[in-house]
């Protein structure tokens, strides 16, 4: 079996379920050593069993992304152990409250901004030198169509994803011509995940595609052959688009 990520190190946040789990397994099948980050030890251990079953290996990192200083320690630990990172998948996210923006409480707002935006900034800051040390550093972050719609009641989530998009595009522009880093955003669209079920409780989940459907597309963005940067891969239309899509 072809393993295009053999010998490469892939960091995945939110790796214990949903898109993160499916992507971690896809990267492992391609030969990557997966550094799997999630809050739940049990979920990570189940993922580890699945990664071993496909013939790869993982490092398990039980970590709450709200512990921002721990992300700096993660970068230092990965440098000591591997000297590089080849793939960063910033997948973990919080939905927060679906509520009028003036009714969102401060703890919820802070948690959504920390996990969806600030933690990804800290990951960029911590892992940028390690991605530069790779011969083909690839960074992928999960966004949402909500970032462009300014739709009522989605305030905290939409604001955090809009901020994430500008941050990743800025970093992509800073690294475009002077490094081999390629930084992309992925809009998964509606998938059969726990977050989607929480946001849309009346929806029939069996009408939706799954994280396993998306995972091979994430793998494509993680390959050394991928050369686009600072753009969005839009899964619903299966195309790479500029950061401000039509409609």
Of residues 127, 192, 188, 132, the one with CA closest to residue 161: 188
- The CB-side HSE value for 182 (13 A sphere, CA atoms) comes to 16
Tell me, what DSSP letter sits at residue 114? I
Cα separation values, 17 from 201, 208, 211, 245, 246, Å: 19, 17, 9, 28, 31
Distance CA 247, CA 20 (A): 28
Is 157 labeled as catalytic in the residue annotation? yes
Cα separation values, 127 from 74, 84, 109, 134, 207, Å: 9, 8, 26, 11, 38
Non-local (6+) Cβ contacts of 106 within 8 A are: none
Q: Catalytic pick from 79, 153, 157, 233? A: 157
Tokens of 26: 């896809």
Distance CA 33, CA 57 (A): 5
Distance CA 208, CA 125 (A): 35
Tokens 């849309």 — which residue?
200
Tell me, what DSSP letter sits at residue 205? G
Of residues 57, 79, 77, 72, the one with CA closest to residue 132: 79
Active site residues: 157
């Amino acid at each position: 079996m072809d393993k295009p990520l053999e010998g490469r190190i892939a960091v995945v946040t939110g790796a214990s379920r949903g898109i993160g789990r499916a992507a971690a397994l896809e990267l492992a099948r391609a030969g990557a050593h997966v550094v799997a980050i999630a809050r739940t030890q049990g979920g990570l251990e189940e993922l580890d069993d699945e990664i071993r079953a496909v013939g790869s290996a993982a490092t398990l990192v039980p970590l709450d992304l709200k512990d921002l200083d721990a992300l700096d320690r993660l970068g230092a630990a990965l440098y000591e152990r591997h000297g590089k990172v080849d793939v960063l998948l910033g997948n973990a996210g919080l939905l927060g409250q679906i509520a009028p923006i003036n009714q969102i409480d401060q703890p919820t707002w802070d948690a959504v901004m920390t996990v969806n935006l600030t933690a990804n900034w800290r990951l960029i800051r911590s892992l940028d030198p390690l991605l530069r040390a790779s011969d083909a550093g690839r960074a992928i972050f999960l966004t949402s169509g909500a970032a462009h719609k300014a739709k009522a009641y989605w305030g905290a989530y939409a604001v955090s994803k809009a901020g994430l998009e500008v941050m990743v595009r800025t970093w992509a522009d800073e690294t475009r011509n002077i490094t081999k880093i390629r930084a992309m955003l992925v809009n998964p669209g509606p998938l059969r995940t726990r977050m989607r079920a929480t946001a849309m409780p009346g929806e029939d989940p069996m009408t939706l595609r799954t994280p396993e459907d998306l995972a091979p597309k994430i793998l494509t963005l993680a390959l050394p052959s991928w050369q686009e940067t600072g753009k969005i891969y839009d899964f619903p239309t299966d195309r790479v688009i500029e950061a401000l899509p039509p409609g």
